[in-house]
Structure 1
């Protein structure tokens, strides 16, 4: 069996070309890995910050009044409005009684002055 240097050289060149091509393809598809890793870390950082902000907002919202609280408040205001109307009516009655007594007392003084 004889080996021809030209044939061996052609095969070696072909194998090296295939290896080179495989390396080129690998580097093309994995070349952005470092950039992607950095981008993922940046997105994770932004996600963590956003998550903390959402937690703060949720915590604050727990302390705010809800729809049921406002309904109770509206009912309380309606009750207070009714109570104020009753007190206003009672105050008017008291005012009328006071004026009658005042008129009576002042009328009695005026009557004594005429005599």
Structure 2
């Protein structure tokens, strides 16, 4: 009667050994995928950081002046240059008038 138990025990031992060996083979075969999963997680972290940096740079670039802005600024500066030339010419005329008045007053003071 105990013979069938011994046979079952031996069969269970063999089946357990096969399952254990199978688990070892599966673990050994999936080892590279776990390493890859770790590397993928690291790359995803770096990617998220870089996406944040790129977003910051895009925000900075969006607030930078454009070519049209610089063109408008150049036109305004040219306009101001012309206005300064006009004021300079007018100031030279005022300076000549001031010199004449000064000469007149100096000549009148001597009489």
Residue equivalent to 1:90:
90
Structure-1-length-normalised TM-score: 0.69
Point out where structure 1 has 5 or more consecutive residues left out of the alignment: 1-19
- Output the CA distance in 2 between the equivalents of 1:108 and 1:53: 78
- Output the CA distance in 2 between the equivalents of 1:93 and 1:82: 17
Give CA deviations for 1:49-99 in whole Å, capped at 9, x if unaligned.
000000011111111212111111111111111111100000000010111
Alignment of 1:1-115 (within 5 A): 30-110=30-110, 112=111
- Output the CA distance in 2 between the equivalents of 1:81 and 1:29: 78
How many positions carry a matched residue from both structures? Answer: 89
How far is 1:29 from its partner? 5.5
Q: 2:65 aligns to what SS in structure 1? A: coil
4+ runs of 1 displaced by more than 6 Å? none
How far is 1:31 from its partner? 3.2
How far is 1:30 from its partner? 3.6
Q: 2:44 aligns to what SS in structure 1? A: helix
Residue equivalent to 2:10:
none
